[in-house]
Amino acid sequence: MMLRSTIHDCEKKTAKDRNEHEIPPVTELRRMLWINGGSDNHLDEVWPNLYLGDAWAARNKQLLQSHSFTHILNAADGKYNINTGASYYRELQITYYGVEAFDSASFAINVFFYPAAKFIHEGLNAPGGKIFVHCAMGISRSAALVLAFLMIHQHMTLVDAIVTVNKKRDICPNIGFLAQLRELNIKLAKERKGKV
């Protein structure tokens, strides 16, 4: 019951009401993810024209074509991951961006926050832009990059971004990714406070 009340309190506060000192600790952020409202489909729209999904969907060209995706961000790119690459989508005329990330709490995914957010932002602003972000399961690496995009370009707090995405898709970035997203939240809050 206490957990639900903590989440409810976090949801009630607006981004303007929160400051960097009110960001829940990583353990509380992790617990927020356990109360799922979203789905576990192969892909789900988590923000207008922004989809989050898994490797099965990433390899299903017919599915991708039926959704008219213009951009794909593979958060599990590389030889030992989901090795599709731009050439895999050539006939679909999809703009591809690969991030060679590993789903490990010690992996520094934060170096990809800004480049991935920029790719998503530019893709959504392209004519007819529709983005599919994926990793192996669509819950950790890709989810972390989508959360970073919402924080950087949509000016959401980490809590707001988690609530927004989790309503549409069950996500669970690993604890290391959550810690890095929390640090991003603190950094962005300080930057934005300085601009006011």
Query: Any idea which residues carry the catalytic annotation?
Result: 135
Q: Kindly write down the DSSP assignment for every residue of 81-121, as one continuous string.
A: S----GGGGGGGT-EEEE-B----TTS-GGGGHHHHHHHHH
Which tokens is 160 given?
Answer: 């707001």
Name the CA dihedral angle for 77, 81, 86, 92, rounded to a multiple of 10 degrees. -120
Among 165, 108, 110, 173, smallest CA distance to 137 is for: 173
For β-strands 43-47 and 50-53, DSSP reports them as antiparallel
